[in-house]
Amino acid sequence: MRSGIFIFYDSEGIADEYIFYLLNSLKDFLDYLMIVCNGKVDAKSRQRFEKYANVLLVRENRGYDAGAYKEAIYMMKKNGILNRTDELLLFNDTFYGPLYPWNDFFSFAEKSSADYIGITMHKETVLEDGEILPEHIQAYFMLIKSLFLHSEEFERFWKNLKEPRTYEEAVHGFEIPFSVMCLKSKYRYEAYTNLDKLTDIKNKNVIPYLYYNMELIKKQKMPTLKIKAVQFQNVGFCNTLDAIEYIKNNLAYDMSYISEHIKRKSNEKTFFSVINFVKLNKFVLQHNNIYIYGNGKYGERVQRYFKKLSYKFNGIVVSTKENDKKNGEILYSTLRLEKNDGIIIALGEKNAKEVYEVLKKDLDSTQILMPDFDVQEKT
């Protein structure tokens, strides 16, 4: 018997269509499913969840996924489901998918001698302050086999787990320790994808689902696209744009699941993107000529975004030129904007705020698109 626990959270309690596509895709692979809603869930979403769930639990929004999993596992143990479960799938709503059918993943898991299997794995990394970040399976999709599932170590882990209060505590208090505990208990874990098999990638001590979506989806048939990858501040944002283009042109996944979710969530301060997608798209349509202020990492990502959507922009604006290293840059002091022209600030928070103070002296506020720097992280 294979059981599943699915964690849902939305600040408005709305479950978008990509979630029900995900749940529907797994119904043939799960004999039992508990859906846990952290916080509120609206009536329509609740009704739809009930069609997939054997048990629907709506709980206070505390403890992130870790707290929800802990409560759900105790409930399953109490009602006897856990004892009858041979494999337990823990997964959440932080990704789009499946991009490919689940058959290959579950076939891989069946053949694997590992006791704990995920989609991606973060290799051991030494941080800038010298701290060693242990290797670990990333916890958005976790399949736990019988031997590990019914071990004393597994039970002890959840018994001793303290509910995280922050995103950092969720990673360092749950995600990483779970993999570490697995190895210390002489069990094994394995990821469905493996950066080591991608010979053209040099830096492999990174978060795979943020940096290398294109390679993992195209070459290793990764069935998931993390929502956090679709954000301007993501280092691998341009790679993710390539991945989205590949999905659109080559796979059967309905791209409206992604676009409609982004469209709804972009207007929330709790969403994940510094530059609001909806505001940006409206801004482009409302102005005759568009300029992008900044030619660094954010500026380059905005340019790539424009090219993917076939949007036109008239130039890259900078405050000063450094020995004319980059051609085509326009000094702001020489730029003359008409009333119907607009400028997008694509800079880090400190520089963006400084530039905004300069621009608002010369331009109407409707001509300036300022990033939303007060967004909160979505796990």
**Residue 203: inside a domain:** no
Structural domain including 186 reads 2-194
Burial class (CB in 10 A: 0-12, 13-18, 19+), 272: buried
Where is the domain boundary, 194, 213, 233? 194
Question: Does the pLDDT of residue 366 top 70, yes or no?
Answer: yes
Residues 48 and 173 placed together within one structural domain of the fold:
yes
Residue 324: pLDDT over 70? no
CB 181 within 8 A of CB 107: no
Residue 210 lies in a domain: no
The distance from CA 24 to its chain's CA centroid, rounded to whole angstroms, is 20
Query: In whole angstroms, what is the distance from residue 262 CA to residue 267 CA?
Result: 9
pLDDT at 184: 87
What average pLDDT does the segment 252-274 reach?
A: 75
- Single out the residue in 132, 165, 194 at which a domain terminates: 194
Answer yes or no: do 309 and 181 share one domain: no
Residue-wise pLDDT tens digits, 49-94 = 999 999 999 999 998 999 999 999 999 999 999 999 999 999 999 9
Residues 6+ apart with CB under 8 A from 311: 284, 290, 305
Whether residues 7 and 148 share a domain: the answer is yes
Would you say residue 359 has pLDDT above 50?
Answer: yes
Q: Are residues 287 and 161 in the same domain?
A: no
Q: What is the CATH number of the domain that holds 356?
A: 3.40.50.20
Please check whether residue 362 lies inside any domain of the structure.
yes
**SS3 category, 202:** coil
At residue 105 the predicted structure's pLDDT band, cuts being 50, 70 and 90, is very high
Nearest 5°: the CA angle 221, 226, 228 is 150
**Tens digit of pLDDT for each residue in 148-192?**
999 999 999 999 999 888 888 888 889 889 999 988 898 999 999
- Same domain flag for 182 and 283: no
- Mark whether 183 and 291 lie in a shared domain: no
Residue 8 in any domain: the answer is yes
Tokens for 349?
A: 């928070």
Specify whether 19 is located in the same domain as 161.
yes
User: For a pLDDT cut of 70, what percent of the chain falls above it?
Assistant: 92
State mean pLDDT over 119-123: 92
What digits encode the pLDDT tens for the residues 196-244?
888 777 777 788 999 999 999 999 999 999 998 987 778 788 888 889 9
**Tens of pLDDT, residues 3-55:** 999 999 998 999 999 999 999 999 999 999 999 999 999 999 999 999 999 99
Local confidence band at 136 (pLDDT 50, 70, 90 cut-offs): confident
Q: What percent of the chain has pLDDT over 90?
A: 59
| 211: in domain | no
Q: Domain boundary residue among 194, 219, 254?
A: 194
Say what the pLDDT of residue 10 is.
Answer: 93
Band (pLDDT 50/70/90 cuts) for residue 377 is very low
pLDDT of residue 129: 65
pLDDT at 273: 59
Residue 377 included in any domain = no
332 and 186, same domain (yes or no): no
Judge whether 232 and 302 are in contact, CB under 8 Å: yes
Q: Which pLDDT score, from 0 to 100, does residue 93 have?
A: 97
How far is the C-alpha of 83 from the C-alpha of 86, rounded, in Å? 8
User: Whole-number mean pLDDT of the chain?
Assistant: 88
285 and 182 inside one domain: no
Give, for 164, the enclosing helix (H) or strand (E): none
CATH of the domain at 126: 3.90.550.10
Q: Which residues contact 139 (CB under 8 A, 6 or more apart)?
A: 65, 90, 118, 174, 175, 178
Rg, C-alpha atoms of the chain: 23
Domain assignment present for residue 342? The answer is yes
Q: How many domains does the chain have?
A: 2
Between strands 125-126 and 87-92, the pairing is unpaired
Which long-range contacts does 164-173 make (Cβ < 8 Å, 24+ apart)?
A: 164/63, 164/64, 164/66, 164/67, 167/64, 167/377, 167/379, 170/64, 170/65, 170/66, 170/379, 173/66
DSSP per residue over 12-64, as a string? T-PPPHHHHHHHHHHTTT-SEEEEEEES---HHHHHHHHHH-SEEEEE-S-SH
The C-alpha angle 276, 62, 137, rounded to 5 degrees, equals 75
Residues 66 and 186 in one domain: yes
The answer to whether residue 24 is domain-embedded is: yes
DSSP labels, 241-268: HHHHHHHHHHS---THHHHHHHHHHTTS
Three-class secondary structure of residue 316 per DSSP: strand
